[in-house]
Amino acid sequence: TTTRFYDFKIQTTRVNKLCNSNEIVTVNNMFPGPVVYAQEGDRLIIKVTNLSPYNATIHWHGVRQILSCWFDGPSYITQCPITPGQSFTYEFTMVKQRGTFFWHAHVSWLRATVYGALIVYPKAGVPYPFPFPYEEHIIILGEYWSQDIVQLERQVIASGGVPPPANAYTINGHPGPNYNCSTNADVYKIDLVPGKTYLLRLINAGLNTENFFAIANHKLTIVEADAEYTKPFTTDRVMLGPGQTLNVLVKADQPIARYSMAIGPYISARNAQFQNITSVAYFQYSGAVPSSLSLPARLPNINDNLAVKTVMDGLKGLNTKDDVPKEIDATLFLTIGLNVNKCRSPTPQQNCQASMNNISFIKPTVSVLESYYKGFEDYFTPDFPAAPLRFYDFVNGAPNSAPNDTNAMNGTRTKVIEYGTRVQIILQDTGTVTTENHPIHLHGYSFYVVGYGSGNYNPQTANLNLVDPPYMNTIGVPVGGWAAIRFKADNPGVWFIHCHFDLHQSWGLATALIVKNGVGHLETLPHPPADLPRC
């Protein structure tokens, strides 16, 4: 095992963007932050020092953290925040994982600017299951606000309203030429050699917006989704929700010219606030006249659900057959959605505008993992229901009509799962306020996406794929529809499951799964690290 060391300094950095000079929080004064490189099987040791004025944590999105739950990063779930002036060292091993990951802050909305790629190569001598690309490029999609994001979050949550749309969408931090005041220097470019094949590692680090991505006149061949290989699938455009990554191969097979790579919003919810503008980077052949206009990329309409479904239908796992749980021991049925009337009890007027099974998750004041480990359960309850509570049952009203009672309950209610359980989770979008495609992310595991569809889940008619489902960590549940995911609960710890729209996460669209220890020491969570931040 090779051990790789990184030093992260979370700090305030002055940047010039969109005609403004303002301060954002970064890692090592870089935006996006530094790329962490590793190889499958490597150990990563990353010392994070918080020099910013805000609480911070870092989450390693997609890393399964086998027996290393303490280093997963979500605030108040597996650790207390690193307070200003303090540091915490994350240590974990890339067990049987390789591909495109990313890291991001996991406290307040700090991840709007605190994010970067985590690239893990296969073991030495192990090739990719596709032709070796000429070059690889990281493409991180983001949203940029010209105001202090932590303060914006506080205002939004206190007011009970929704945030203004981002000031810009960005590609590797650059807003691109479609925004007033963007200079040429603020455009990301890839220079191409004709005839070569490029691997693009796409990451959606956006806060609250799902995005389409396309390159003018070029096809994209998906070969990996959420850091797991897929069967090759060729398409004109892809969609990534926040938290999703896709590797695509692109052949530079077009005449010498400049082409645009563009991102633009996919908005499945009615009445959502968003920036209706595309953000552009250049995909240009050497020899192209730099001053020439680029050929525009064609993106789907903002509400093109069919385009999203087409890409989803094309995602098939590579060699996943033997590992898909064919039998299941437990099913969890989770409604996901927004609430009109916030919280009914026990404390009304908390900020519970979204829920799972009509329970808005309230983050505790001590991490769930720490309190679970120490055996004091005053900070959470183990009574998250396996299905929507009867009285609050949204399912009969879904997807497009609201139930009579649109209140939520609140609580730090968790679901306890025995080690080794083969779990199926049905995620059902509900329509109390609006139906919407929610990117639901599970920590600590990848899961097989064995089914999805529109309308309400019906076990009689659901057609499940147990042969070649993709193995993912974030699933865009179809708007007004459902998705079924399966995994074996063989990694003990406390694992957050939540909507990767930060707005919805703050509103309570989350819960935590507690996977208990198995019997042997290889099935048991280790002790907490000595420098674990205290609350």
| Interaction of residue 496 with ligand C2O, rule CB under 6 A | yes
Nearer to ligand C2O, 300 or 493 (CB): 493
Identified binder of ligand C2O from the candidate list 17, 56, 59, 201, rule CB under 6 A? 59
In the complex, least distance from residue 473 CB atom to ligand C2O, rounded to whole angstroms: 8
* String marking each residue 224-243 x if it binds ligand C2O according to CB under 6 A: -------------------x
Best CA proximity match to 67, nearest among 406, 490, 373, 504 = 490
Nearer to ligand C2O, 251 or 443 (CB): 443
Q: Which two tokens stand for residue 358?
A: 């009509």
Amino acid at 411: G
CB atoms within 10 A of CB 467: 11
CA 240 to CA 527: how far, in whole Å?
Answer: 36
Nearer to ligand C2O, 63 or 479 (CB): 63
Buried b or exposed e, range 328-350, using 16+ CB within 10 angstroms: beeebbbbbbbbeebbbeeeeeb
By CB under 6 A, the count of residues binding ligand C2O is 11
* String marking each residue 422-451 x if it binds ligand C2O according to CB under 6 A: -------------------x-x--------
- Asked if 307 and 220 count as a contact pair (C-beta separation under 8 A), the reply is no
In the complex, least distance from residue 409 CB atom to ligand C2O, rounded to whole angstroms: 22
List phi, psi (to 5°) of 126: -100, 115
In the complex, least distance from residue 520 CB atom to ligand C2O, rounded to whole angstroms: 29
Q: Up-side HSE of residue 535: CA atoms within 13 Å toward CB?
A: 16
Alpha helix locations (H) across 258-400?
305-314, 368-374
In the complex, least distance from residue 60 CB atom to ligand C2O, rounded to whole angstroms: 9
Beta bridge partners of 116: 103
CA 243 to CA 452: how far, in whole Å?
Answer: 19
Q: What's the count of helices (H) and strands (E) in the chain, helices before strands?
A: 4, 33
**Positions 76 through 105 that interact with ligand C2O (CB under 6 A):** 104
Nearer to ligand C2O, 102 or 266 (CB): 102
- Asked if 489 and 515 count as a contact pair (C-beta separation under 8 A), the reply is yes
- Asked if 310 and 235 count as a contact pair (C-beta separation under 8 A), the reply is yes
Nearer to ligand C2O, 76 or 233 (CB): 76
Best CA proximity match to 62, nearest among 118, 128, 1, 140 = 118
In the complex, least distance from residue 242 CB atom to ligand C2O, rounded to whole angstroms: 8
Angle at 526 between CA 521 and CA 527, to 5 degrees: 135
Nearer to ligand C2O, 243 or 317 (CB): 243
Nearer to ligand C2O, 392 or 496 (CB): 496
Find the part of the chain contacting ligand C2O (CB under 6 A) among 41-49, 430-438, 480-488, 493-501: 493-501
Nearer to ligand C2O, 214 or 509 (CB): 509
In the complex, least distance from residue 507 CB atom to ligand C2O, rounded to whole angstroms: 15
In the complex, least distance from residue 510 CB atom to ligand C2O, rounded to whole angstroms: 8
Find the part of the chain contacting ligand C2O (CB under 6 A) among 24-32, 267-275, 404-412, 492-500: 492-500
| Cα 116 to Cα 28, 33, 36, 157, 481, distances in angstroms | 11, 5, 8, 26, 32
In the complex, least distance from residue 240 CB atom to ligand C2O, rounded to whole angstroms: 13
Nearer to ligand C2O, 17 or 498 (CB): 498
Q: Which two tokens stand for residue 399?
A: 């997807």
* String marking each residue 104-143 x if it binds ligand C2O according to CB under 6 A: x-x-------------------------------------
In the complex, least distance from residue 104 CB atom to ligand C2O, rounded to whole angstroms: 6
Nearer to ligand C2O, 227 or 261 (CB): 227
Q: Which two tokens stand for residue 312?
A: 């989803």
In the complex, least distance from residue 57 CB atom to ligand C2O, rounded to whole angstroms: 10
In the complex, least distance from residue 106 CB atom to ligand C2O, rounded to whole angstroms: 6
- Asked if 216 and 296 count as a contact pair (C-beta separation under 8 A), the reply is yes
Shortest-Cβ-distance residue relative to ligand C2O: 61
User: Mapped to the 3 state alphabet, what secondary structure does 410-429 carry?
Assistant: EECEEEEECCCCEEEEEEEE
Nearer to ligand C2O, 248 or 442 (CB): 442
In the complex, least distance from residue 102 CB atom to ligand C2O, rounded to whole angstroms: 8
Identified binder of ligand C2O from the candidate list 74, 241, 431, 444, rule CB under 6 A? 74
Q: How far is CA 454 from the centre of its chain?
A: 22
Find the part of the chain contacting ligand C2O (CB under 6 A) among 89-97, 165-173, 194-202, 495-503: 495-503
In the complex, least distance from residue 76 CB atom to ligand C2O, rounded to whole angstroms: 12
Nearer to ligand C2O, 281 or 442 (CB): 442
Best CA proximity match to 251, nearest among 230, 210, 220 = 220
Identified binder of ligand C2O from the candidate list 17, 61, 201, 486, rule CB under 6 A? 61
CA 219 to CA 38: how far, in whole Å?
Answer: 29
- Asked if 375 and 433 count as a contact pair (C-beta separation under 8 A), the reply is no
Nearer to ligand C2O, 432 or 491 (CB): 491
Q: Which two tokens stand for residue 335?
A: 């409604």
Q: What is the dihedral of CA 7, 8, 14, 15, to 10 degrees?
A: 100
In the complex, least distance from residue 73 CB atom to ligand C2O, rounded to whole angstroms: 8
Nearer to ligand C2O, 138 or 280 (CB): 138
Tell me the pairing of strands 359-361 and 408-411. parallel
Angle at 501 between CA 486 and CA 372, to 5 degrees: 60
State the residues that interact with ligand C2O by CB under 6 A. 59, 61, 74, 104, 106, 243, 441, 443, 496, 498, 500
